[in-house]
Amino acid sequence: MDMPAREIPRPVQEAPPESPRVLVLGGAGFIGRHVVAALRERGIEVSIGSRHPRRRQQRDRAGGVRYRQVRMERMCDAEDWREPLAQVDAVVNCVGILRPRGRETYDRVHHRAPAALAAASAARGLRLVHVSALGLDGLVRSRFLLSKRDGEEALRASGADWHIVRPSLLDGEGGFGARWIRRVARWPLHLLPADACGRIAVLDVRDLGEAIARLVLASGGADLPREHDLGGLLPCTLAEHIAAMRRLHTDAPARVLHVPGWLARLASHACDLLHLTPFSYGHWELLRQDNCPRSNRLPELLGRPPRAVGAHRPPPAPFPAPGVHA
């Protein structure tokens, strides 16, 4: 997956600017904030779908963004999207929940509401960019991952101008999981699941925001790929990623204690039950298998190599062949 510096991919061609209006659902969240910023850098008129639009509008000191009331758990019919999609040319869905709460169930937020959104987008001829997750085609049992898979299938059947974006693990300021990994990296002892042997392709959330903005504006129509797996260029295990994040602050390695898989699974259920830490049963499942793009679309969407995340050690130099002097 490494890319020589001189092999810069050609960026996806953006459509001629015609002042499109884009609604970003979850635009005040970790991913959504960076999508909004990337769109606004391109002079795009953006509105943000939020559970609490008045509160967000009061906090938005910079102004220039309109907030709309959107409660995904209540919008499971295409007709529910009539008002939010009024005067909109494209929509980006960055909404996701780590754990259910009340009416905010996995099925409603990850499946039924996106299905209704896709149907409404198809009726209005809008482009829909939907943020999903990698690893859904594996053998998974968590309701979090299964609901994400159901949401993707609903988009494929909708007839809309849909695009599915599947990022690997994200790093960046303000992310719940990213904040925890940065904190844990500083600890002298790292407790890691013994069966977390899958590789991840960590990417910077700023790159994800830029890639989604380019996809919203991309030309190509039916020739443009519909599904986009995105990741960084340095596949690594969770332990290697945490070590790389630690090296940003110190060269002293941490002690690693491997927790048996059965105990890590029990801990994931406890975290789900008590809403503690970002570690969940779904994450435990994903860490046991590779979670890297099969075909990484991120460099093509960006038109450049992705940003580096963490301080990774360079790979060891290969041994010279017999009879060859270095």
Residue closest to 212 by CA, chosen among 45, 92, 84: 92
CB 128 within 8 A of CB 93: yes
CB 34 within 8 A of CB 307: no
Q: How many whole angstroms separate alpha carbon 5 and alpha carbon 216?
A: 27
Q: How many whole angstroms separate alpha carbon 110 and alpha carbon 113?
A: 7
Largest alpha-carbon pair distance within the chain? Answer: 74
Mean pLDDT across the chain, nearest whole number?
90
| Half-sphere exposure at residue 258, Cβ-oriented, CA atoms within 13 angstroms | 8
Q: How confident is the model at residue 323 (pLDDT cuts 50, 70, 90)?
A: low
Highest mean pLDDT among 51-60, 179-188, 313-322: 179-188
Q: For 97-125, write each residue's pLDDT tens digit.
A: 999 999 999 999 999 999 999 999 999 99
High-pLDDT (> 70) share of the chain, %: 89
Q: How many whole angstroms separate alpha carbon 125 and alpha carbon 121?
A: 6
For residue 220, pLDDT over 90 is answered with no
Q: How many whole angstroms separate alpha carbon 164 and alpha carbon 113?
A: 15
Range from 24-38, 64-78, 120-134, 292-306 carrying the lowest mean pLDDT? 64-78
Q: For 233-278, write each residue's pLDDT tens digit.
A: 999 999 999 999 999 999 999 999 999 999 999 999 999 999 999 9
For residue 130, pLDDT over 80 is answered with yes
Count of CB atoms within 10 A of residue 123's CB?
A: 16
Q: How many whole angstroms separate alpha carbon 204 and alpha carbon 309?
A: 7
CB 262 within 8 A of CB 193: no
Concatenated DSSP letters for 155-197?
HHTS-SEEEEEEE-SEE-TT-HHHHHHHHHHHSSEEEEETT--
- Beta strands 236-237 and 199-200 are antiparallel
What pTM was estimated for this model as a whole? 0.90
